[in-house]
Amino acid sequence: MNIQWYPGHMTKAKRMMQEDIKLIDIVIELLDARAPLSSKNPDIDNLATNKSRMVILNKADMADARKTAKWEEYFKAKGFFVLSMDSRKNSGMKPVSDTIREACKEKIARDRKRGIINRPIRAMIVGIPNVGKSTFINSYAKKSCTKVGNKPGVTKGKQWIRIGKDVELLDTPGILWPKFDDQEIGLRLAYIGSINDEILTKSELALKFIDFLKINYCNALTDRYNIDIDIQNSENFEILKQIAVARLCLLKGNEPDLDKAAAILFDDFRSGRLGRMTLEEIPE
Ligand code: GDP
């Protein structure tokens, strides 16, 4: 597989994050609820030592709700404060502030003992590309968007967004680079659109994805594309061909256009039209 991140990018992103993390109390890590571990870069655990930690299983509206509940338990057991959500909705943001407060309870108590009262909790969003960081920040900020001026000792231009009376969010998220040592992780990241599709051709990727669907969501394709085919007993190539025909994706001479069919398939999956799906199981 061909990694799209260059070492220079990675080093710069990491350095910036190391600087930003010094300023904050809590790291809020956005993961994709459809592939929580694959969309997690474990390096953040080293960068965020001594910080309160919160995980948001984002895009939960597109994930399998039953599995999301299990993933929530999984991360809670690892010591994270956890929420799952659809970041596009700014109506569901109260639990975020509540959870931030809960996660920083000890810190607030410590501050109080030292006579520091009403110092806002400073939070920062981190996550891999496309996981919904900007969407989250916009929705959360919309609750009450007061930009807080530059602070002394803080890099010029760094903006804090005051939310309610006790939380400040850094307005630029920390970008984590996707990590895929493992072919399966790379595939999941490609399915959700987090890494470039070019690791394989679209149709090659679709053939792999159909393998996953056969095992886990075997009716999704017949339901969505109205194709009359025995999914379990057909070659993936045949299935993709049928999708192409059903969607009138045809090349010259009426050959099915598999790349176009694959693009439709991923478009449908990534927008939730294929149904709510979770790509990843909790490890044993
Ligand atoms: P970033 O690269 O992490 O900042 O990701 P963006 O905020 O740009 O979001 C990437 C895409 O995911 C956009 O098309 C968003 O509309 C979409 N998105 C973000 N959060 C959610 C969510 O919770 N549910 C759904 N369905 N889509 C979301």
Q: Are residues 17 and 98 in the same domain?
A: yes
Q: Are residues 34 and 95 in the same domain?
A: yes
Instruction: Say if the ipTM goes beyond 0.90.
Output: yes
CA of 139 to the centre of ligand 1 (A): 11
Output the average pLDDT for the chain.
89
Q: Are residues 155 and 78 in the same domain?
A: yes
Pocket test for ligand 1, best of 59, 135, 191 (most atoms within 8 A of CB): 135
Q: Kindly state the helix (H) or strand (E) to which residue 66 belongs, with its residue range.
A: helix 65-77
- Residue 190 located in a structural domain: no
The residue behind tokens 């790291």 is 27
Ligand 1 atom nearest to CA at 173 = 4
Map residue 111 onto helix, strand or coil.
helix
Q: From residue 172, how far is each of 17, 20, 157, 189, 238 by CA, in Å?
A: 10, 10, 10, 23, 45
Query: Could you tell me the residue range of the domain that residue 169 belongs to?
Result: 7-175
Query: Which CATH number does the domain housing residue 260 bear?
Result: 1.10.1580.10
pLDDT at site 201: 87
Q: pTM value?
A: 0.91
**CA atoms lying within 13 Å on the CB side of residue 177:** 18
pLDDT at site 111: 87
What tens digit of pLDDT does each residue of 78-136 get? Answer: 999 999 999 999 777 889 999 999 999 998 898 889 998 888 999 999 999 899 999 99
**94-103 vs 105-113: helix axis angle to the nearest 10?**
60
- Residue 209 located in a structural domain: yes
Residue identifier of the C-alpha nearest atom 18 of ligand 1: 132
Q: With 0-12 CB in 10 A as exposed, 13-18 as middle and 19+ as buried, what is 107?
A: middle
Is the C-beta atom of 59 inside 6 A of ligand 1?
yes
Residue count of the chain? 284
Sign of CA dihedral 43, 47, 48, 50: positive
Say how many Å lie between the first and final Cα of the chain, rounded. 27
